[in-house]
Structure 1
């Protein structure tokens, strides 16, 4: 499903995860892809891109983080388009073949998806010459007016993207708008603000600080890695609630990553 959330921003759902297209649709050829969805989704993403931008390739690919459902098509697309891929310096070891992520926590409090997470890949990938660190000054390549915000917790190098001009936020998995651990809610996309997916979040104190950091930006629009976009008063109230109740609404009562921090 391709959703126009701003004049130059589209959210595209690939199975259960969102990618973003930044750029004004045709005739413009200046566009950027943010995240690359599930494995084997390259053709689906390419088709959506063609619908928006014709037979042009992006100027860059930006990754919020390197989990399998956000980099599923990045190797194929980066090679096909021959474009640079940017991620936070602390995420690079998972994108240049040096490190694997911890295995998903199937013991964490949650629903069926959490129990199924043992099937999710945790291996890093190697983007070779395509991968580059994001600029240290906080700017985002090929996205004028946008800045990246370091929002660790879900992964060490997780980032979100923010544009001050219209207070638009691409949050990645720093917070999401669906209970990603619960299969029924994932299938129905029942909207409910939530912390990052529990089965892959390794540092809950950092995740809490990251949500506080994003709330202080006062976003008016938020596109998250999972779930439907939120905007306006509904976003403000939901994000305020999540910040105030993070310990009970987001952090699980039990799980290996919770126990490790006690």
Structure 2
């Protein structure tokens, strides 16, 4: 992943074709946490990246920002390899325990090829009932004592982001992203630009706007999102502030 120098040394991103996973832990640490599990078919790539960074130490847990296909696609083979608990927001559990499916993608949101082909993206829930657990209600993350989770719904009901106060780092998931995910060209080139959540899979725009404003109010100094490259400093601060100010004009599809 490009621009890793914009992140703290213990936050490492791995791109799985169209979506990012995040490894939290210093190189060589025996205790670390994986955030999200990328798209299907990337388990070996994720495991190899983990081995290069942490040796044979498995993660203490896998934390999910949400359960869309591009964030849980390689989860099952990773769990078969590591056998660790999975944490997600309680409101996301129906989609992770075989009880509910996400709405189908909306190809009419505009923006480019990635939106037009979005009905092809899987929208079914998965069932990992035996290993998934709700995150503690007090905002703590069991394997990440310095971090807290922030409920950032809108993209999904139980979407969360992670925030660390001491260096104001945010792992945003898809609450906001740093690439125009509706455009195949932008996804291919990873052209850097702050956007709202991927619109073809976002169905509660009021809460999505509130979530962006909630994260902007934290004044993050560095961010890694579910799609795109890490951002930091003035580009992040100003871009996120502008998105928060004009979310309805910049992010919400005008159908």
TM over 0.5, shorter chain: yes
Alignment of 1:232-243 (within 5 A): 232-243=233-244
> Structure 1 residue 183: deviation in Å?
1.0
Report the equivalent of 1:173. 174
Alignment of 1:90-239 (within 5 A): 90-239=91-240
Considering only aligned residues, what root-mean-square deviation do their CA atoms show, in Å?
Answer: 1.0
Report the equivalent of 2:11. 9
Report the equivalent of 2:44. 43
Unaligned runs of 5+ in 1: 255-262
What SS does the aligned partner of 1:113 have? helix
Unaligned runs of 5+ in 2: none
Report the equivalent of 2:79. 78
Could you tell me how far apart the structure 2 residues matched to 1:13 and 1:41 are?
9
> Structure 1 residue 24: deviation in Å?
1.2
> Structure 1 residue 128: deviation in Å?
2.1
Aligned length: 253
Report the equivalent of 1:260. none
Could you tell me how far apart the structure 1 residues matched to 2:94 and 2:76 are?
15
Could you tell me how far apart the structure 1 residues matched to 2:247 and 2:108 are?
20
Could you tell me how far apart the structure 1 residues matched to 2:56 and 2:187 are?
33
Q: Could you state the TM-score of these two structures normalised by the residue count of structure 1? A: 0.95
Report the equivalent of 2:26. 24
> Structure 1 residue 109: deviation in Å?
2.2
What SS does the aligned partner of 2:145 have? coil
- State the Cα deviation string for residues 145-183 of structure 1 (Å, max 9, x = none): 100000000000000000001100000000001110011
- State the Cα deviation string for residues 174-213 of structure 1 (Å, max 9, x = none): 0001110011111111111100000000100000000000
Q: Could you state the TM-score of these two structures normalised by the residue count of structure 2? A: 0.97
Q: Which has the higher contact order (CA 8 A, sep 6+)?
A: 2
> Structure 1 residue 6: deviation in Å?
1.2
